[in-house]
Amino acid sequence: MKKILIVEDDISIHNLIKEILLKEQYELLDAYSGSEALMILERENVDLILLDLMLPNINGEEIIKKFSQIPIIVISAKISIDDKIENLLNGADDYITKPFNNGELVARVKVRLRNKDNCNHNLKFKELKLSFEDRTLYVCNNKVILTKTECAILKQLLLSPNKVISKSKMLELINYDTPDCDENSLKVHISNLKKKIKKYSEKKYIESVWGIGYKIFED
Amino acid sequence: MKKILIVEDDISIHNLIKEILLKEQYELLDAYSGSEALMILERENVDLILLDLMLPNINGEEIIKKFSQIPIIVISAKISIDDKIENLLNGADDYITKPFNNGELVARVKVRLRNKDNCNHNLKFKELKLSFEDRTLYVCNNKVILTKTECAILKQLLLSPNKVISKSKMLELINYDTPDCDENSLKVHISNLKKKIKKYSEKKYIESVWGIGYKIFED
DNA sequence: AATAAATGTTATAATTATATCAAAGAATGA
DNA sequence: TCATTCTTTGATATAATTATAACATTTATT
């Protein structure tokens, strides 16, 4: 879940932003002054900053310069084009002027977070989360490292949950990753996968369909 | 030098954009239709696309979907907020409405190209602080000097924490700094980096992903 | 219940990948 | 130029993965 820091001293605008973003399932952090924002930024791993420029004590420009490695969207009433340009060049990633459109705010937030998300290709099924970029499987939020073949197999199963994949079809699908794998070997990999899942979950998830193949299922 | 593709059928606007960007020392490519744009994108390594939506034959939306991995700034007369939101969500990185301010266009172009350049001189991840201007790494506030190659490698890892970078990708990324580095050599640099980090931290930070590459991680 | 066929488990050997070390070769700077 | 540091190379050690095969269990059929 992505962490977004909202830096805005005007309570009503702050709450409005919060309300809009809560619907999108982000973890929200609040700062009502520049110094509060700095404190949070030192402590937390923030994924995105929504930043008002005119703040009590420390002003927004300082935060932009210090934390330009974090995506920053300026939300400001400063509509002077020179302010806009200066802040963009100094490290802001986007600039929205008040009053803003709710949908556009959400869209621009998603755009800034997208690159981070997009890179990890993920598949989810109930309490299984597979990130096949780094071959990490989360079983009830417990991290398990999969081997190349295990990952390839589980990926195929998760791509069509509740649908049986025959053994020969599976071998064909994972052929690129492991050209030498045969039915005997597949059997072993499935067994190992089941063992890794069982360690952190009573649910089996992988079911064998007698005479045909395997499928992911919910019991 | 960064390559920017200008996709705009209106000659006068096309030339205006060109004129503005030429001052900034970019290499400019021109497309006056969607199909021409696609042709260029298949052939060239484009760093940024400036895209008008209403084009002869293929329309801009198709280009956004197909090439969303390249930064795209939409420049459009379509001012409907829904169009804007839809295109941003579909893969556009920014959206400028006509008529645009010249300075703002340049600023937004620079912002989109900035991440690629990495103008930021510092990167932070947990108790690692890398300043790659002077190739200094702070491990739990202990100063460690890195070599050029070590610094280049760690920089790439820190730029996308928790994401695996394959060995070949890494070699590609640090190619400018060390053109002779191969997989064997990379292995040694990683080993040396790990040793330098281990001196001041029990956390490993650099994790190798078997068969793929390396990543920065938090345990 | 017996049996045959399919699936499950385990151990091991072969293969493949990574880690570390030391030394040679390159690059750098006084 | 020499001395120093950095990078590559290759050798060796360590580790992880995979296929194989032997054996155990389950399932379907008679």
Parallel, antiparallel or unpaired: strands A48-51 and A128-131: unpaired
Check CB contact of B94 with chain A, cutoff 8 Å: yes
Residue type, B94: D
Using a CB-CB cut-off of 8 Å, the residues of chain B touching A81 are: 101, 103-104
What is the spatial distance, in angstroms and rounded to an integer, between the CA atom of B145 and the C1' atom of D29?
73
Counting Cα atoms < 13 Å in the Cβ hemisphere of B91 gives 16
Q: Can you give the pLDDT at residue A186?
A: 96
* Assigned token pair, A203: 């649910």
* Assigned token pair, A125: 């099924």
More confident residue, B146 or A121: B146
> Between A and B, how many residue pairs show a Cβ–Cβ distance under 8 A?
68
Q: Can you give the pLDDT at residue A118?
A: 47
Task: Kindly report the bases of strand D lying within 7 A of a protein C-beta atom.
Answer: 5-11, 16-22, 27-28
What is the distance between the alpha carbons of residues B54 and B51, in angstroms, rounded to a whole number? 9
pTM over 0.75: no
3-state SS class at B212:
coil
Whether the Cβ atoms of residue A187 and residue A150 lie closer than 8 Å to each other: no
Helix (H) or strand (E) holding A114: helix A102-119
Check CB contact of A89 with chain B, cutoff 8 Å: yes
Mutate to test the interface with B, among A1, A3, A111, A178 (most CBs of B within 10 A): A111
What is the distance between the alpha carbons of residues A193 and A19, in angstroms, rounded to a whole number? 42
| Apex A121 CA angle, B126 and B49, nearest 5 | 90
* Assigned token pair, B178: 């060390």
Task: Evaluate if residue B52 carries a pLDDT over 60.
Answer: yes
Largest CA distance in chain A: 72
What is the distance between the alpha carbons of residues A108 and A113, in angstroms, rounded to a whole number? 9
Superfamily of domain B3-117: Response regulator (3.40.50.2300)
Every domain of chain B and the residues it spans? 3-117, 122-216
Q: Which residue of B has its CA nearest to A103?
A: B85
Parallel, antiparallel or unpaired: strands A48-51 and A3-7: parallel
CA distance A200 to chain B (A): 18
Q: Can you give the pLDDT at residue B114?
A: 82
Nucleotide of closest approach to B211 (CA, C1'): C17
What is the distance between the alpha carbons of residues B54 and B76, in angstroms, rounded to a whole number? 8
What is the spatial distance, in angstroms and rounded to an integer, between the CA atom of B164 and the C1' atom of D24?
40
Helix (H) or strand (E) holding A48: strand A48-51
CA distance A80 to chain B (A): 11
Fold type of domain A122-216: Arc Repressor Mutant, subunit A (1.10.10)
Using a CB-CB cut-off of 8 Å, the residues of chain B touching A133 are: 163-164
CA distance A134 to chain B (A): 6
Check CB contact of B152 with chain A, cutoff 8 Å: no
What is the distance between the alpha carbons of residues B16 and A50, in angstroms, rounded to a whole number? 33
Per-residue CA distances from A190 to A139, A149, A193, A215, B25 (Å) = 16, 10, 5, 11, 56
* Assigned token pair, B149: 């190659």
What dihedral angle (degrees, nearest 10) is formed by the CA atoms of B182, B187, B188, B190?
120
CB-CB under 8 Å, B101 with A110 = no
More confident residue, B179 or B203: B203
What is the distance between the alpha carbons of residues B99 and A52, in angstroms, rounded to a whole number? 26
What is the distance between the alpha carbons of residues B123 and B107, in angstroms, rounded to a whole number? 23
Q: Can you give the pLDDT at residue B1?
A: 77
Task: Evaluate if residue B93 carries a pLDDT over 90.
Answer: yes
Instruction: Give the distance, in angstroms, between the CA of residue B33 and the centroid of all CA atoms in the same chain.
Output: 26
Residue type, B203: K
The mean-pLDDT minimum among A24-33, B42-51, B116-125 falls in: B116-125
More confident residue, B78 or A144: A144
Question: Which of A69, A93, A103 lies nearest to residue B111, judging by beta carbons?
Answer: A93
Task: Kindly provide the residue ranges of all beta strands, DSSP E only, lying in B85-209, ordered along the sequence.
Answer: 94-97, 122-125, 128-131, 136-139, 142-145, 165-166, 206-209
Task: Evaluate if residue B119 carries a pLDDT over 70.
Answer: no
Q: Which residue has the tokens 């645009």?
A: B100
Q: Please give chain A's pLDDT, 219 residues, in tens.
A: 789 999 999 999 999 999 999 999 899 999 999 999 999 987 887 889 999 998 888 888 889 988 877 899 999 987 789 999 999 999 899 999 999 999 999 999 999 998 655 445 678 898 898 988 889 999 998 999 999 999 999 999 998 888 899 999 999 999 887 878 899 999 999 999 999 999 999 998 999 999 999 999 876
CA distance A110 to chain B (A): 7
- Determine how many CB atoms are found less than 10 A away from the CB of residue B28: 15
Fold type of domain A3-119: Rossmann fold (3.40.50)
Largest CA distance in chain B: 62
* Assigned token pair, B155: 């920089």
A185 touches strand D (CB under 7 A): yes
